[in-house]
Chain A
Amino acid sequence: DVKVTQSSRYLVKRTGEKVFLECVQDMDHENMFWYRQDPGLGLRLIYFSYDVKMKEKGDIPEGYSVSREKKERFSLILESASTNQTSMYLCASTFDRASNQPQHFGDGTRLSIL
């Protein structure tokens, strides 16, 4: 089974801090994604990556950046955390770009910005 591991289940940070959320997958997947999940809004794509050192903006990239230095690891960075970034963050991966490949998700990081 594919395992997608997010480094923290719960995280509390202060406004203005730089926050790192880490995600690691163990199945040599090419594609990795970061979403945020908010009630009633479903999941919204923040950033994604199709390869090492490659990144693309999703639907809501403002206030975020990403890093993919190794194939198995995809990091989400909040450059200067704000209270409106309090949310559940979900990482996902897929083997390749074929549209019928399901995405495999981690358990999520619930981030609170105070």
Chain B
Amino acid sequence: GDSVTQMEGPVTLSEEAFLTINCTYTATGYPSLFWYVQYPGEGLQLLLKATKADDKGSNKGFEATYRKETTSFHLEKGSVQVSDSAVYFCALSDNAGNMLTFGGGTRLMVKP
């Protein structure tokens, strides 16, 4: 079946540091890929998405590129802020009903 693997956290960075959170997947066919973010005490919010190979999703300074050849969708941000502290989930959606498969989540802590 489909699966998503994320780097384990927590990831601790200083403000303005460069962020990479790795995400790889296994899936049949051509899934859509998502990054969701969960701020403390809240539900998940869509951060960005990509629906086909070589697409780049971007939002709030975060980017991720759908790499079919490496089955990856790594999340990057050039300069993190304290307000980016949250848990980040990589997910894929199959093509038969919009079922999401999630990675285990990566907690990011940004220190001033």
Contacts and interface: CB of A to CB of B under 8 A. Distances in A.
Given A42-B89, A42-B104, A99-B31, A31 B44 contact: no
A31 B98 CA distance: 9
Interface residues of B, number: 27
A15 interface: no
Interface residues of A, number: 27
Interface string B87-112: 00100011111111011110000000
B44 to A, nearest CB: 4
B97 A45 contact: no
A105 B45 contact: yes
Interface in B23-77: 31-32, 34, 36, 41-46, 49, 51
A104 B49 CA distance: 13
Given A42-B105, A90-B44, A103-B100, 6 more contacts: A40-B8, A42-B102, A43-B100, A50-B97, A99-B95, A105-B43
